[in-house]
């Protein structure tokens, strides 16, 4: 549920982009949102890696969840008291972009710390967190289908849709906050926290206390140990974000399904992503070399999807595109979950949290790189 909650705010902002594009027609809303969110999150996670030994994950996570609620509240309040569905109030866009940046700060605090904390625990906890992030995408797809059926696709309908996305997100993030504070007190969490403290204490006896220079050396050592898992994670999201959602929403079309086509393809990807992330609970690929090789093999999606634009007549039809989109989601989900589980287990327990946070840094870097490549690769 916590994994579900921390990815939902971003999904709310990006799913409501139709409404924001209507309000601010002279602005490339989706691209600005992506750059602001990714850059802020990337900087935030980098700082957390460098200074996590001076702060407590419990405080970071609660602060981040509170900032998520605040960032999500800004948009409906701004709409109710200032914008009121009127086009061209660009001061409203600047405030909205600032709320996206605030959500990026929250994401760095929550995602980095949650994944780092899960890295210290048995693998099923990391799997649950990662599966929760995929469930977030499925919920947004369900809400998008619901709003398209129920609300008219004019200004009023787009406004109601956006307010629904943000209202549901606020409720779920608040529930995540309550659940996290319950989980933090459970005996299993206390047990593994004590193990970590014991491991850190023993490490300090060997090398001395964690001063700034010792900590930075430890971080670089951790990065060196998990670098190939990190390379795999970056490659996963370079491939995925280069294709999804831009290619899906802009480059393929269906005479039969019309404007439902991209919505159903996005839903197919999100369901595939959830299935992939749940499959690691059934069977986990523990061989990192095979997992990384599989990430490299996903580069084949580029010529396959390119074939759906310029290949034989059968390729651009609904069935091949849908199958490839679902496979993109399944492989994205499974390999992400597998590598995020494997990475913290490569290092000693006292460095598992750092390994988890570094894995998130690789993930966000892959997201940013993939988003940039998405502008160029389709010919």
Q: What is the pLDDT of residues 19-57, one digit of tens each?
A: 888 888 888 787 788 888 888 998 999 888 887 777 788
pLDDT at 187 exceeding the cut of 70: yes
CA 284 to chain centre: 21
pLDDT at 323: 93
The predicted model scores a pTM of: 0.86
Q: 176 is written with which tokens?
A: 């995540």
Q: What is the rounded end-to-end Cα distance, in angstroms, of the chain?
A: 40
> Using an 8 Å Cβ cutoff, are 15 and 136 in contact?
no
Can you give the pLDDT at residue 39? 86
* CA-based nearest residue to 333, from 275, 293, 287: 275
pLDDT of residue 209: 56
> Does residue 38 or residue 377 have the better pLDDT?
38
* 202 has pLDDT over 80: no
Average pLDDT of the segment spanning 292-301? 96
Give me the pLDDT at residue 203, please.
Answer: 64
Residue 210 has pLDDT above 70, yes or no: no
CA angle 361, 105, 213 (to 5 degrees): 55
Query: Please, which residues have CB within 8 angstroms of residue 41's CB and are 6 or more apart in sequence?
Result: 104, 105, 107, 108, 111, 364
CATH for 2-373 (2.10.77.10, 1.10.3720.10, 1.20.1250.20, 3.40.50.10860): 1.20.1250.20
User: Nearest to residue 46, comparing CAs of 350, 352, 361?
Assistant: 361
314-353 tens-digit pLDDT: 777 888 999 999 999 999 999 999 999 999 999 888 788 8
Report how many helices (DSSP H) and strands (DSSP E) the chain contains, helices first: 15, 0
Instruction: Give pLDDT, residue 379.
Output: 44
Evaluate if residue 5 carries a pLDDT over 90.
yes
Tell me the chain's radius of gyration from C-alpha atoms. Answer: 21
The residue among 128, 118, 125 whose CA lies nearest residue 278 is 128
The DSSP secondary-structure symbol of 285 reads -
Binned at pLDDT 50, 70 and 90, residue 206 comes out as: low
- Alpha-carbon span 73 to 78, nearest angstrom: 9
pLDDT, residue 292, reads 96
Q: Where are the domains of the chain?
A: 2-373
Residues in the chain: 379
Q: Tell me, what's the pLDDT at 312? A: 77
Q: Which of the two residues, 203 and 204, has the higher pLDDT score?
A: 203
């Amino acid at each position: 549920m916590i994994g579900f909650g921390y990815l939902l705010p971003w999904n709310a902002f990006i799913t409501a982009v139709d409404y924001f594009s209507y309000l601010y027609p002279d602005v490339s809303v989706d691209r600005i949102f992506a750059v602001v969110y990714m850059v802020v999150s990337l900087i935030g996670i980098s700082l957390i890696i460098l200074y996590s030994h001076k702060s407590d994950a419990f405080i970071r996570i609660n602060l981040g969840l509170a900032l998520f609620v605040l960032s999500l509240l800004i948009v409906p309040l701004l709409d109710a008291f200032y914008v009121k569905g009127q086009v061209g109030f660009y001061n409203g866009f600047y405030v909205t972009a600032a709320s996206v940046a605030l959500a990026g700060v929250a994401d760095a605090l929550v995602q980095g710390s949650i994944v780092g904390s899960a890295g210290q625990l048995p693998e099923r906890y990391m799997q649950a967190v990662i599966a929760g992030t995929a469930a977030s995408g499925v919920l947004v797809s369900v809400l998008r289908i619901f709003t398209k059926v129920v609300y008219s696709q004019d200004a009023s309908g787009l406004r109601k849709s956006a307010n629904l996305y943000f209202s549901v997100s606020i409720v779920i993030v608040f529930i995540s906050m309550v659940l996290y504070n319950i989980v933090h007190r459970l005996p299993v969490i206390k047990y593994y926290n004590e193990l970590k403290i014991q491991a850190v204490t023993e490490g300090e006896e060997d090398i001395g206390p964690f001063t700034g220079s010792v900590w930075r050396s430890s971080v670089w050592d951790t990065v060196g140990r998990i670098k190939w898992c990190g390379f795999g994670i970056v490659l996963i999201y370079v491939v995925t974000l280069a294709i999804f959602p831009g290619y899906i929403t802009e480059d393929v079309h269906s005479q039969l399904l019309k404007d439902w086509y991209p919505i159903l393809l996005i839903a197919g990807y999100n369901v595939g992503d959830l299935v992939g992330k749940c499959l690691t609970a059934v069977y986990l690929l523990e061989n990192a070399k095979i997992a990384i090789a599989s990430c490299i093999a996903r580069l084949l999606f580029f010529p396959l999807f390119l074939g759906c634009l310029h290949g034989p007549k059968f390729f651009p039809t609904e069935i091949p595109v849908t199958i490839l989109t679902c496979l993109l989601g399944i492989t994205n989900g499974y390999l992400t979950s597998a590598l995020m589980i494997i990475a913290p287990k490569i290092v000693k327990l006292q460095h598992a949290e750092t390994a988890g946070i570094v894995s998130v840094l690789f993930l966000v870097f892959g997201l940013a790189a993939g988003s940039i490549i998405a502008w160029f690769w389709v010919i």
